[in-house]
Amino acid sequence: MQNWDSNNTWTSCYMPRVESHKIESVTGDQLKMLDIKNATAVITGGAGGIGFALAKYWIEHGGHVVMGDINQDLLDAAAEKLEGNVETVLFDVTREDDCARLADTAIEKFGQINLVAPFAGIIIDSMLVSPDRETGKVTRKMSTEQFRKVIDINLTGVFLTVRECLERMINNKCKGLICLISSTGSLGTAGQINYSSTKAAMSVFPKVITAELFRRGFSDIIRCSAVAPGYVGTDMVKNMNQQALDKILTNVPIGRLVEPEEVISLVAELYKNEALAGDVFFIHGGLRLGSGG
Ligand SMILES: NC(=O)c1ccc[n+]([C@@H]2O[C@H](COP(=O)([O-])OP(=O)(O)OC[C@H]3O[C@@H](n4cnc5c(N)ncnc54)[C@H](O)[C@@H]3O)[C@@H](O)[C@H]2O)c1
């Protein structure tokens, strides 16, 4: 067995039982749900569409937010709209030291991290190779830069954010959830070999992280899940050309884009309900995923 000693350090390698956590569970006769009130969320890409919707929800429910983003103007605008315990951090998710600084900010300002939402993400779409219609010869290719940039932000950035936050969650005895964001693109979308690869990776992260936490005896304290939205009405999607958007909507049975607030309602349920762990939860309005069925 493993346990914390009086100096808050490891005493052995397996199955620790941490006696006190900073977030109290709300206990009914049968149900045990986590409360958002006074819980701290670290959100990357927090000034953007889905990240901002999460920050707003979290504040409205009495939580604290540390919001990291690379865009200062967006951060300023977001901070102006939110009233409550919000810290904004200008940072680049691809930088190790920036991710450590983001996680440190949460501990310094609020003493804990209870929700990690590494939502910073980009798309740079292009076909792997594009042959010319007339000659049949390849005239354009996805550049290595296009591929690497998306991998850096959407995959390495998540790895760094989760690693730095998880370290501090364990060291500060915090209870909560790492909530990743995958996508229906994880199933493979033409023109997105870079993006789809990163989102497929987000499908396996919850399993690996949950297995590791289980092995180390933390899986009842810190859980990991992912949400996988379809097409959500944020700038990322609204900036597509109208023709592409109309085509997408013909495949969405609810006949519209998913709203960021609908995604966040799922994130909140994943946080509160401790039975939800280690998996990917889709939210796409019935998107046919190319099957035509
Ligand atoms: N919009 C959708 O339809 C959709 C669907 C499925 C999954 N997602 C995922 O949800 C997440 C959020 O998407 P969104 O639609 O809100 O996008 P968005 O473009 O509105 O917001 C993304 C935010 O990430 C920030 N960001 C970009 N690069 C960064 C970096 N290097 N460091 C720090 N911050 C950086 C941007 O400044 C922006 O504020 C992404 O991971 C995206 O892949 C979106």
Q: How confident is the model at residue 29 (pLDDT cuts 50, 70, 90)?
A: low
Full DSSP string of 80-148: HH--SSEEEEE--TT-HHHHHHHHHHHHHHHS---EEEE-------B-SEEE-TTT-SEEEE--HHHHH
Instruction: Tell me what pLDDT residue 153 has.
Output: 98
* Ligand 1 pocket, residue 66 CB under 6 Å: no
- Between 103 and 290, the more confident residue is 103
CA of 45 to the centre of ligand 1 (A): 6
Q: How confident is the model at residue 271 (pLDDT cuts 50, 70, 90)?
A: very high
Domains, in order of start, for the chain: 32-283 (3.40.50.720)
What type of residue is 208? V
**What value does the mean pLDDT take over residues 61-77?**
97
Residue whose CA is closest, atom 39 of ligand 1?
Answer: 48
Is pLDDT at 3 greater than 50 in this prediction?
Answer: no
Distance CA 4, CA 285 (A): 45
Specify whether the CB–CB gap between 253 and 288 falls below 8 A.
Answer: yes
* Ligand 1 pocket, residue 49 CB under 6 Å: yes
Distance CA 191, CA 207 (A): 27
Q: Could you read off the pLDDT of 152-174 as tens digits, one per residue?
A: 999 999 999 999 999 999 999 99
Q: What is the mean pLDDT of the chain?
A: 91
* Ligand 1 pocket, residue 70 CB under 6 Å: yes
Instruction: Tell me what pLDDT residue 244 has.
Output: 84
Distance CA 66, CA 141 (A): 39
The number of the ligand 1 atom at minimal distance from the alpha carbon of 94 is 31
Least confident of 28-37, 266-275, 279-288: 28-37
* Ligand 1 pocket, residue 235 CB under 6 Å: yes
CA of 122 to the centre of ligand 1 (A): 5
Distance CA 23, CA 224 (A): 17
Closest to 226 (Cα-Cα) out of 72, 81, 50: 50
Instruction: Tell me what pLDDT residue 28 has.
Output: 59
Ligand 1 pocket test, pick from 67, 119, 125, 240 with the greatest ligand atom count within 8 Å of Cβ, gives 119
**What value does the mean pLDDT take over residues 256-282?**
97
Can you count the helices (H) and strands (E) in the chain? 9, 11
Instruction: Tell me what pLDDT residue 236 has.
Output: 83
Residue whose CA is closest, atom 23 of ligand 1?
Answer: 45
Neighbours of 214 (CB within 10 A): 14
* Ligand 1 pocket, residue 261 CB under 6 Å: no
Is pLDDT at 93 greater than 80 in this prediction?
Answer: yes
Instruction: Tell me what pLDDT residue 248 has.
Output: 87
Distance CA 160, CA 112 (A): 18
Instruction: Tell me what pLDDT residue 30 has.
Output: 63
Q: Could you read off the pLDDT of 213-264 as tens digits, one per residue?
A: 999 999 999 999 999 999 999 988 888 888 888 988 999 999 999 999 999 9
